[in-house]
Amino acid sequence: MLYKYYMSVKLVAIDLDDTLLNPDLSISTENSMAVKAAMDAGVAVVLASGRTFFSMKPYADALGLAEKDYPIICSNGAEIRHSTSGELIRHFTIPSQNGKIIVEELLSKGLAVQSYEDNWIICTEPNSFTFLDSKLTGLMIKKAETIEELYSKPRSKFLSSGKPEYLSELAVILKEKFAEIAEVVITKPYFLEVLPVGVDKGEALAWLAGEMRIAQEEVMAIGDAQNDLGMVSWAGYGSAPSDAIPSVIEAAKHVSALPHDKSAVADLINRLVLAKK
């Protein structure tokens, strides 16, 4: 454990919502300065989010990731893309035949369903959560002309929304039902996402670190929610803000004394990355 602790960090993966971003979806000055200082010190920085590329790109540009062409992990690991062009580096999708099964099952549970294409949210029926998703991501909303439109081509993910208590119970059922065709994860308490088999931020980060020839012990991952658990558990410097969910706090090797909206990311980078340089 001492060996792992004293390894220098060469790669930092950071979740966006409720980790790097403030409640108003801005990046604090402290967080921005810390990220840029880490890159100036030669540390690679990768954004890792459930968001699509089009929703992540403005943040990558604001932080200067595109200038260095650091990859970004999108759609909870289903996509890894160049931060400059958006060109796919690696991509997993749910085939149309499995998408049909997933969409019909979610509809049968009384849930509206969304899929994503470019800068659009394609939905069966817009609701308050669809509009919230649009506000959070900046994506436009399009009502599908037919249900088949949602799975007419392979998709990186599907999303349904609803009351947290219902989604939490339903996730357990769907994980078993979709075990051979998809992954199920709660990203926000009111968002349930269905992803391609094997897709997880932690798996994507491990693959990317391998491609960059960076050891597990040299990777920091900062996240707060269930979809961050994989990367926080895997990384040598798995880290979390103080207001992360309990399972992430438990998995993290380093927890900031600060919540995400008090620049916890800056605190973690300054203490664990920059202070060791």
Set out the domains of the chain in order of their start, with CATH numbers.
2-91+200-276 (3.40.50.1000), 96-196 (3.30.1240.10)
Q: Is the pLDDT of residue 174 over 70?
A: yes
Report residue 87 as tokens: 């060109």
Cα Rg for the chain, rounded, in angstroms? 18
The strand order across the sheet containing 71-74 reads: 71-74, 79-82, 88-91
- Over range 63-76, report the average pLDDT: 95
- Looking at residue 19, the DSSP 8-state letter turns out to be I
- Over range 156-166, report the average pLDDT: 96
Name the nearest CA neighbour of 138 among 52, 28, 77, 78.
52
Judged by DSSP in three states, 208 sits in helix
194-228 pLDDT, tens digit each? 999 999 999 999 999 999 999 999 999 999 999 99
- Residue 275: predicted pLDDT: 87
Cα separation, 62 vs 201, whole angstroms: 22
Inter-residue contact 260 to 268 (CB < 8 Å): no
> Partners of 158 in the beta sheet?
115, 194
CA distances from 254 to 48, 86, 171, 178, 249 (A): 18, 32, 28, 34, 8
Tell me the whole-structure pTM to 2 decimals.
0.93
Report residue 267 as tokens: 């605190």
Place of tokens 């010190």: 41
